[in-house]
Amino acid sequence: MLTAHRLSRLPRHFLTGEELSRDEIEYLLNRATELKRDPHASRALAGQTVALIFEHPSTRTRVSFEVGVFEMGGQPMILRPGEMQISRGEAIRDVATVLSRHVAAIGLRTGDEQMLQDLARYATVPVINMLSPLHHPCQVLADLLTIKEAFGEVSGRCLTYVGDGNNVARSLAVVGARAGVDVRIASPDGYALQEDHGATLFADPVAAVAGADAVYTDVWLSMGDDESTASRRREALSPFRLDDELLDRAAPNAIALHCLPAHPGDEISEEVLYGRRERIWDQAENRRHAQKALLELLVS
Ligand code: CP
Ligand code: NVA
């Protein structure tokens, strides 16, 4: 098993998940399991502050990072661009430079991929992507932890995502494939990922879920998507709804996953969301444990 010492060459930022090797993901998931058992075992942020910048709304990401930083002895600082000088045109480069003089790490949730890149380019402390238009890598660390809890390991397991080829789908492909998961992404024409990123792309949800250990879905309209496309999206994506009938096509002990927020009746049925095969609420809790392991790696 890897030790923290051997991980010292880890790149500082966590923007897409490609910054982590397969061994590092395995180490991180083991450490997350330890921290779940003993939430105050890490003091890696004692006396330090972590800035968390939210341009878009959040329930899980905000709560899991805030509580997680606190449990590690640190102070979370929530910042909203509308209340910062960013709203009056201050350059991200200058924000990155100033924040780096004060805090141990910076999390950013943004609708602007370039803003994330600029922050990472100029910050001298780790920058963590807390969701961008293209990626949601912190979510996938929690998803992998949930699969590990259900099946004992992630490598060799099959995870099928059904629905919009969005940021979550892309991160599942990127990070899941790195972790040795057989990731399949099923989307209708016009909503598929443009590249496979190590996953296998399907157009037929039934074929994609055959034998899967986990079946996963996400919203049909993401933050930043044009609201006027909602009914067109619903029509195209309805055959990809995660319901009992689709889940029955997966492996006999398959679990259902959803990053949340959910829209029961749209991308997931109420029966699956609250049913016996869901691991969705564990998945939401696992955000905190996985992100604490990540923060520990990045700041140490
Ligand atoms: N899954 C997720 O990122 O949830 P929030 O948007 O509530 O943070
Ligand atoms: N794809 C969704 C994920 C929300 C956690 C969005 O970007 O809004």
What is the C-alpha to C-alpha distance for residues 73 and 270, in angstroms, rounded to an integer? 38
- Residue closest to 124 by CA, chosen among 95, 147, 152, 153: 95
- Within this chain, do residues 186 and 253 fall inside the same structural domain, yes or no? yes
What is the C-alpha to C-alpha distance for residues 12 and 245, in angstroms, rounded to an integer? 43
Which ligand lies nearest the alpha carbon of 267?
2
99-139 pLDDT, tens digit each: 999 999 999 999 999 999 999 999 999 999 999 999 999 99
CA angle 245, 251, 255 (to 5 degrees): 75
What is the C-alpha to C-alpha distance for residues 300 and 24, in angstroms, rounded to an integer? 14
- Within this chain, do residues 187 and 213 fall inside the same structural domain, yes or no? yes
Residue to substitute in 63, 130, 136 for testing ligand 2 pocket (most ligand atoms within 8 angstroms of CB): 136
What is the C-alpha to C-alpha distance for residues 262 and 285, in angstroms, rounded to an integer? 15
Task: Evaluate whether 90 touches 84 at the Cβ level (below 8 Å).
Answer: yes
| CB-defined site of ligand 2, < 6 Å | 131, 136, 166-168, 218-219, 222-223, 259
- Within this chain, do residues 116 and 153 fall inside the same structural domain, yes or no? no
- Within this chain, do residues 58 and 151 fall inside the same structural domain, yes or no? no
- Within this chain, do residues 148 and 128 fall inside the same structural domain, yes or no? no
| Strand residue runs (E) in 99-220 | 105-109, 127-129, 158-162, 182-186, 200-202, 214-217
CA 281 to ligand 1 centroid distance, Å: 12
**In terms of residue numbers, what domain contains 86?**
5-136+287-299
| CB-defined site of ligand 1, < 6 Å | 58-61, 131, 139, 259-261
Task: Write down the mean pLDDT value for the chain.
Answer: 96
Please state whether the peptide bond connecting residue 57 to the residue before it is cis, i.e. omega within 30 degrees of 0.
no
Structure tokens at 140: 């996938």
What is the C-alpha to C-alpha distance for residues 296 and 300, in angstroms, rounded to an integer? 6
What is the C-alpha to C-alpha distance for residues 222 and 266, in angstroms, rounded to an integer? 13
- Within this chain, do residues 147 and 232 fall inside the same structural domain, yes or no? yes
Structure tokens at 220: 């049909």
Number of domains forming the structure of the chain: 2
Q: Which atom of ligand 1 is nearest to the CA of 259?
A: 1
- CATH number for position 18: 3.40.50.1370
- Within this chain, do residues 107 and 147 fall inside the same structural domain, yes or no? no
What is the C-alpha to C-alpha distance for residues 71 and 69, in angstroms, rounded to an integer? 5
- Within this chain, do residues 295 and 268 fall inside the same structural domain, yes or no? no
Residue to substitute in 63, 222, 237 for testing ligand 2 pocket (most ligand atoms within 8 angstroms of CB): 222
- Within this chain, do residues 24 and 71 fall inside the same structural domain, yes or no? yes
Model confidence band, residue 7 (pLDDT cutoffs 50, 70, 90): very low
For ligand 2, atom 3, name the residue with the nearest CA.
222
- Within this chain, do residues 147 and 128 fall inside the same structural domain, yes or no? no
CA 222 to ligand 2 centroid distance, Å: 5
Residue to substitute in 56, 61, 172, 287 for testing ligand 1 pocket (most ligand atoms within 8 angstroms of CB): 61
- Within this chain, do residues 209 and 109 fall inside the same structural domain, yes or no? no
54-97 pLDDT, tens digit each: 999 999 999 999 999 999 999 999 999 999 999 999 999 999 99
DSSP notation for 56-110: S--SHHHHHHHHHHHHTT-EEEEE-GGGSGGGGT--HHHHHHHHHTT-SEEEEE-
- Within this chain, do residues 207 and 218 fall inside the same structural domain, yes or no? yes
Q: What percentage of residues in the chain have a pLDDT greater than 70? A: 96
